[in-house]
């Protein structure tokens, strides 16, 4: 079975990319045992708790990241440099347990996947 990596690169609620990516992750996890999530660039903002999308009339899908454990998705990685560039630290609160990696380590980890989808 192929391993599949999902890269989240866009901020939440500005487009449907994050929500669609999460839907694709859940659908793929039902068919594959080796799914990994990578949060790079503005994608790290997907994991920030306390978002209030209702104020801009957007759907709150961020809480859905909490059910990933039910799908046995445990390989989640966040880019340290992306966090720092946006004013967050490696130990900032997140809605999902994810390993914080330097960009070079993140690229090496990503290289081990057979398929890569970006949202």
76-92 tens-digit pLDDT: 999 999 999 999 999 99
Q: What is the pLDDT of residue 66?
A: 84
pLDDT recorded at residue 54 = 79
Fold of 4-118: Hypothetical Protein Ychn; Chain: A, (3.40.1260)
How confident is the model at residue 88, as a pLDDT? 96
Which pLDDT value is given to residue 114? 95
pLDDT at site 103: 96
Q: What is the mean pLDDT of each run of 10 residues along the chain (119 residues)?
A: 93 89 93 94 93 81 86 94 96 93 97 96
SS3 content of the chain, % helix, strand, coil (to 5): 40, 20, 40
Phi-psi region of 67 (alpha: psi -120 to 50; beta: other; left: phi over 0): alpha
């Amino acid at each position: 079975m192929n391993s599949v990596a999902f890269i989240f690169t866009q901020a939440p609620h500005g487009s449907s990319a994050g929500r669609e990516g999460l839907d694709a992750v859940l659908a793929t996890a039902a068919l594959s045992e080796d799914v990994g999530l990578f949060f790079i660039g503005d994608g790290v903002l997907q994991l920030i708790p306390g978002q209030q999308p209702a104020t801009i009339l957007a759907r709150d899908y961020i809480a859905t990241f909490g059910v990933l454990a039910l799908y046995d998705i445990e390989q989640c990685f966040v880019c340290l440099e992306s966090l720092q560039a946006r004013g967050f630290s490696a130990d900032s609160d997140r809605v999902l347990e994810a390993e914080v990696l330097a960009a070079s380590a993140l690229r090496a980890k990503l290289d081990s996947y057979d398929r890569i989808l970006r949202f």
